[in-house]
Amino acid sequence: MLGNEMFKFQEGVVSRWASHENPDGAKGAGGTARNGRKGAPWFTLNTGESRVLAHAENTSGIIRRIWITINDQTPDTLRGLRLEMFWDNCDKPAVDVPFGDFFCVGLGKVATFKNALFSNPEGRSFSTYIPMPFKTGMKIVITNESSSPIKHFYYDIDYTLGDKFSEDTMYFHAFFNRENLTHMKKDFELLPYVEGKGRYLGTNMGVRCNTKLYSDTWWGEGEFKAYIDGDTDFPTICGTGVEDYIGTAWGQDYYYDLYCGCPVYDKTNMELCFYRFHVPDPIYFNSNFKATIQQIGGVDRDDYFHHAQLLYKNQMADNQVISVDGEAVDFTNIPMLDGRPLLFEREDDWSCCTYFYLDKPESALPGLMDASERTKDLVGRPGFMGKYPQEMPLFD
């Protein structure tokens, strides 16, 4: 609730917290272990094991906040843990994504940041404040598909029960995608085609630049595209570049803000994590929707010959002409368009966790890919200002 509604009492609505000791949020059942003296604040989640974190049946409500911390925060665990959310007793989850990516932590790289929907205040906890309504029940499940046991899993899930909804209330969904590598001239799908009424809420993206092929050239000239209500060849909404889409310009670096940010920019390894949320600028759709982003690079004319030597040194002939896609290119005579950089198609490692609302608790989107595909090639290096608390101090 915002503004004046914060001091209004909601008749018939009750507050609940789900925790390890009380996943059903039962009244008067919190903190019972060791006579209420902090007897069981965490649990161990072994490889292959699942736990129900929160559960409610035959009631309406809203998930208001989720907070979690785990002792092992590496790419293997952050991508290997699988988070599922089910609404209204559906068999298929509306949310089926890697744990870390869901909490706006891309590429398994923890970092300090905060925004309107997620926060990681000191780079070692995971919180979200996205409201998630349900009309007849909910279930949230965590499964360890990583290669390591999670020795200490702490969490709180805060929600209300008894909320009344109108017919236009929608369900929260999240979708994960990764292409390692992307395909030349085929736009990466942030959200594949979905049917129904809904709202595209935004996305958290991770990019591992293909430095083997493209050296340190600029990677982010691709346009964001939103195909709305029957768009085919061309979208209704089209951006001007990746860094433009996330609210910055003329390149990209570490920053975070309410609705856009780049919490990780590993310039040594050319790995980035960034987000964009459409909260004040909603994107609605009435019948169907798809969102993509292009993989296009760009270099300045003055630097192009230098990069050509790096990128295509095995194809150089007479130090002037090289072959790109079977066609000879003369880098001493490249036409420029109003000072704009020369663009070229790329293949990089892109991943995303995309958030949206839909007028139904299920969608036809594919399920989560195998953990080996999610974690392949990720290396346990810290992100910018990131920390890896392998074994945080704990009290028994």
Domains along the chain with CATH numbers: 10-25+42-169 (2.60.120.1390), 172-300+341-368 (2.60.120.1390), 301-340 (no CATH)
- pLDDT, residue 319, reads 46
pLDDT of amino acid 321: 47
DSSP 280-301: SS-EEESSEEEEEE--EEEE-H
pLDDT confidence of residue 59: 97
Q: Is the peptide bond before 181 cis (omega within 30 degrees of 0)?
A: yes
Beta bridge partners of 330: 321
pLDDT value for 326: 52
Res 309: pLDDT? 54
C-alpha 341/C-alpha 250 separation (Å) is 12
pLDDT at residue 380, as a whole number = 62
Q: Which tokens belong to 42? A: 């965490």
Q: What is the pLDDT of residue 215?
A: 78
What radius of gyration, in Å, describes the C-alpha atoms of the chain? 23
CA gap 65, 81 in Å, rounded: 19
User: Percentages helix, strand, coil for the chain, rounded to the nearest 5?
Assistant: 10, 40, 50
Q: With contact defined as beta carbons under 8 Å apart, do 319 and 308 qualify?
A: no
Long-range contact pairs involving 239-242 (C-beta distance under 8 Å, separation at least 24): 242/293
Quick one: DSSP state of residue 338? T
What whole-number distance in Å separates Cα of residue 282 and Cα of residue 248? 19
Cα–Cα distance for residue pair 144/124, rounded to 1 Å: 19
pLDDT for 216 equals 82
Give the C-alpha separation, 243 to 260, whole Å. 10
Q: What does the alpha-carbon distance between residue 231 and residue 89 come to, in Å, rounded to a whole number?
A: 33
Query: What is this structure's pTM?
Result: 0.89
Contact 343, 301 (CB under 8 A): no
**CA pair distance 328, 198, nearest whole angstrom:** 47
Contact 357, 171 (CB under 8 A): yes
Structure-block tokens of residue 370: 């195998």
Provide the pLDDT for residue 303.
Answer: 60
Residue 4, SS3 per DSSP: helix
List the pLDDT tens digit at each of the 396 positions of the chain. Answer: 455 678 889 999 999 999 999 999 999 999 999 999 999 999 999 999 999 999 999 999 999 999 999 999 999 999 999 999 999 999 999 999 999 999 999 999 999 999 999 999 999 999 999 999 999 999 999 999 999 999 999 999 999 999 999 999 999 999 999 999 999 899 999 999 999 999 999 999 999 999 888 878 889 999 999 999 999 999 999 999 999 999 999 999 999 999 999 999 998 899 999 999 999 999 999 999 999 999 998 876 556 555 555 555 433 444 444 445 555 555 444 444 455 567 788 899 999 999 999 999 999 999 999 999 999 999 764 443 333 333 333 333
Q: Give Cβ neighbours of residue 354 (< 8 Å, ≥ 6 apart).
A: 174, 175, 176, 177, 190, 191, 200, 202, 203, 204, 291
Residue 274 neighbours by CB distance under 10 Å: 28
Nearest Cα neighbor of 156 from 123, 116, 129, 174 is 129
Q: Name the token pair of 254.
A: 């570490």
Confidence (pLDDT) at 344 = 80
DSSP string for 250-272: SS--SEE-SSEEEEEEETTTTEE
**Within the chain, where are the H helices?**
75-80, 99-102, 211-214, 242-245, 301-311, 371-375
Other beta carbons within 10 angstroms of residue 148's beta carbon come to 14
- Position of tokens 């979708």? 175
